[in-house]
Structure 1
């Protein structure tokens, strides 16, 4: 069974020969420092600056040498860089992107320090234009790449998220997190208008990105975090009042462009509160599924939602993968035992691999997935 066949069975809730493995997707990358550690450990050549596919991010690279080594079943389409916009820096070193959002680096991570619509009223929202979506650099060569992978390899092909976040995140980036939450209570007309405008932008952005590669795609990735470690970020009631319908409108718009592709959402933290709503708006695959977050026990999620949604990731990167080699192996076995029976599971981390992960554990978790992820699943958990 080849990778594409394996993935197609799994995402349709059927059992393939083994659990599919993912690396280098929207939420399964290696942050730069860890990536360099892996290269050094494996004796692989380091990339040059031109190899960065996500300049300015904490995980800037994609390296399929590593994907092939661990047995990944995927290739991921990554949006290109705009030809007609270059990020610029002010005198204090703040970097501004094409949305007008200001970023600063602290250590290995980028943080938002300027919100261009922080003091906006509805008239300012109406005037805001956002990025030049139809910049040809974004899609240059993507159709050729996708066609080549589809016709000349057996990998499953997906898109990574072309925008780092979804409606909630870009509301926060543009207005600020405090404004986001207070607007939902005190400035509802502005909140509804900005979310509606962002939905329009996202539909146009994703449509432009996906159209050249749509015939080749297994799924399309979105990312939006709705949970903290110990609770949801908001109530289900608030989500349903403000975010559910705009998100559904975006997903419906994308499905018109790529009707055969599944819809994938990465969402961090304690998100059980929203699972039924995610399913209702057309999310086919949920990723992240952090096992140490509240109410995110893998066996319970599979039992309650496993018939209606595919699980992606789930490997604990907070403790287990940072512990002993045996911890990493047992973690892999546990998630496979819980999520994999009956299909509907793609193996991977719950988020990007961080600098505190031992390289040996990274390699061991994927080896364990190949060793213990063969169907029928029969794993003895210690």
Structure 2
């Protein structure tokens, strides 16, 4: 096996700058149950030790410390309340109380609801969070406000609002985006020039098509996301755009808005074939993800996992511009053997990347 000559940070930056890395970078997203299972199987005491064992170039995440009013364990700063909902092999934290659900006008919200204050966070410790971790890429800042909006209003009502209450949507998204924008500014100020990318996300696709009309995406989401994208670029960071599902129709507009990295590449969804994405956007975007975790990692054979990784490197990695990772969080149902095969294959075949 060839010898590594780059740090994970250098490897990521080489791909992002359209230069040739020593090998294919690899990233990792998984649930807590998977983390526990993998660490135990590999005999690793920490996540970072596990990443190093599997040659995973996982970025370091940094952020502020909360110092605001006390928040109950089952709630967040927005007043949404949650409970852990069990499924067959683990749990997910689901929103069960939506604090803005009862309101029908902006005036009602303004009269009855207190928005979080950015001064509830202390940013002074962020530089210390990077000490000893200078060899890793850094993820920090960004936005995903419609996800929060769905918790504030309830998912069904949030989508109905796009037609019935667009004024409420605009009002709330402005509040949420402004908070994210100021949060990101304060992070950049603490570690100028050190953030590799900011996560600027909105889930816009189902498995068959967009969940919103293109007109709604242009009205409610893209202008606000572009503001975040421009902020990242001004700070020397890349815009990492996450959007699940079938989003092929809106990708030209997202590219025009300035996204740099596209995740998670759910290529089994309608219109998301890897060859077409690479052909049409390979010179404009770095692809991140691509290993299916609905079937391949969860229920496929070791041979199927290996073949999918090889295919991703061949298709998405042709000429560069690819970071190997799962399509969203690996679930606990996925056998350890499949997870290990993904990273072992990526490491073996990534040298000819």
Query: What residue is the counterpart of 1:96 in the other structure?
Result: 75
Note the C-alpha offset of 1:124.
Answer: 3.6
Secondary structure of 1:211's counterpart equals: helix
Is residue 268 of structure 2 the alignment partner of residue 292 of structure 1? yes
Q: 1:117 to 1:335 in 2, by over 3 A?
A: same
Residue 157 of structure 1 is aligned with which of 138, 141, 163? 138
Kindly indicate whether the alpha-carbon contact (under 8 Å) linking 1:133 and 1:208 is maintained by their aligned counterparts in 2.
Answer: no
Secondary structure of 2:290's counterpart equals: strand
In structure 2, how many angstroms separate the alpha carbons of the residues matched to 1:176 and 1:316?
29
Query: What residue is the counterpart of 1:65 in the other structure?
Result: 49
**CA root-mean-square deviation:** 2.1
Note the C-alpha offset of 1:226.
Answer: 1.0
Q: 1:157 to 1:199 in 2, by over 3 A?
A: closer
Q: 1:299 to 1:326 in 2, by over 3 A?
A: same
Kindly indicate whether the alpha-carbon contact (under 8 Å) linking 1:33 and 1:355 is maintained by their aligned counterparts in 2.
Answer: yes
In structure 2, how many angstroms separate the alpha carbons of the residues matched to 1:301 and 1:73?
24
Is residue 341 of structure 2 the alignment partner of residue 373 of structure 1? no
Is residue 18 of structure 2 the alignment partner of residue 13 of structure 1? yes
Kindly indicate whether the alpha-carbon contact (under 8 Å) linking 1:87 and 1:98 is maintained by their aligned counterparts in 2.
Answer: yes
In structure 2, how many angstroms separate the alpha carbons of the residues matched to 1:357 and 1:81?
34
Query: What residue is the counterpart of 2:148 in the other structure?
Result: 170
Query: What residue is the counterpart of 1:191 in the other structure?
Result: 169
Query: What residue is the counterpart of 1:340 in the other structure?
Result: 317
Query: What residue is the counterpart of 2:94 in the other structure?
Result: 111
Q: 1:125 to 1:307 in 2, by over 3 A?
A: farther
Kindly indicate whether the alpha-carbon contact (under 8 Å) linking 1:290 and 1:314 is maintained by their aligned counterparts in 2.
Answer: yes
Kindly indicate whether the alpha-carbon contact (under 8 Å) linking 2:229 and 2:258 is maintained by their aligned counterparts in 1.
Answer: yes
Query: What residue is the counterpart of 2:203 in the other structure?
Result: 225
Structure 1 unmatched ranges of 5 or more = 48-62, 90-94, 378-382
In structure 2, how many angstroms separate the alpha carbons of the residues matched to 1:145 and 1:358?
33
Secondary structure of 1:243's counterpart equals: helix
In structure 2, how many angstroms separate the alpha carbons of the residues matched to 1:229 and 1:158?
28
Secondary structure of 2:193's counterpart equals: helix
Secondary structure of 1:179's counterpart equals: helix
Q: How does 1:223-302 map to 2 (within 5 A)?
A: 223-256=201-234, 258=235, 260-302=236-278
Query: What residue is the counterpart of 1:55 in the other structure?
Result: none
Q: 1:8 to 1:253 in 2, by over 3 A?
A: closer
Note the C-alpha offset of 1:116.
Answer: 1.0
Which shifted more, 337-346 or 210-219? 210-219
Residue 216 of structure 1 is aligned with which of 154, 174, 194? 194
Q: 1:140 to 1:194 in 2, by over 3 A?
A: same
Q: Deviations over 1:184-221 (max 9, x none)?
A: 21222222222222221221122223321232122112
Note the C-alpha offset of 1:250.
Answer: 2.7
Which shifted more, 224-233 or 80-89? 80-89
Q: Deviations over 1:317-361 (max 9, x none)?
A: 111112211111111111111111121111111111111111121
In structure 2, how many angstroms separate the alpha carbons of the residues matched to 1:264 and 1:214?
18
In structure 2, how many angstroms separate the alpha carbons of the residues matched to 1:348 and 1:205?
27
TM-score between both structures, scaled by the size of structure 1? 0.83
In structure 2, how many angstroms separate the alpha carbons of the residues matched to 1:327 and 1:80?
41
Kindly indicate whether the alpha-carbon contact (under 8 Å) linking 2:23 and 2:350 is maintained by their aligned counterparts in 1.
Answer: yes
Note the C-alpha offset of 1:31.
Answer: 1.0
Note the C-alpha offset of 1:251.
Answer: 2.6
Q: How does 1:29-44 map to 2 (within 5 A)?
A: 30-44=30-44
In structure 1, how many angstroms separate the alpha carbons of the residues matched to 2:115 and 2:184?
14
Is residue 107 of structure 2 the alignment partner of residue 123 of structure 1? yes
Query: What residue is the counterpart of 2:301 in the other structure?
Result: 324
Secondary structure of 1:88's counterpart equals: coil
Structure 2 unmatched ranges of 5 or more = none
In structure 1, how many angstroms separate the alpha carbons of the residues matched to 2:251 and 2:192?
26
Query: What residue is the counterpart of 2:282 in the other structure?
Result: 306
Query: What residue is the counterpart of 2:338 in the other structure?
Result: 361
Secondary structure of 1:247's counterpart equals: helix
Kindly indicate whether the alpha-carbon contact (under 8 Å) linking 1:288 and 1:314 is maintained by their aligned counterparts in 2.
Answer: yes
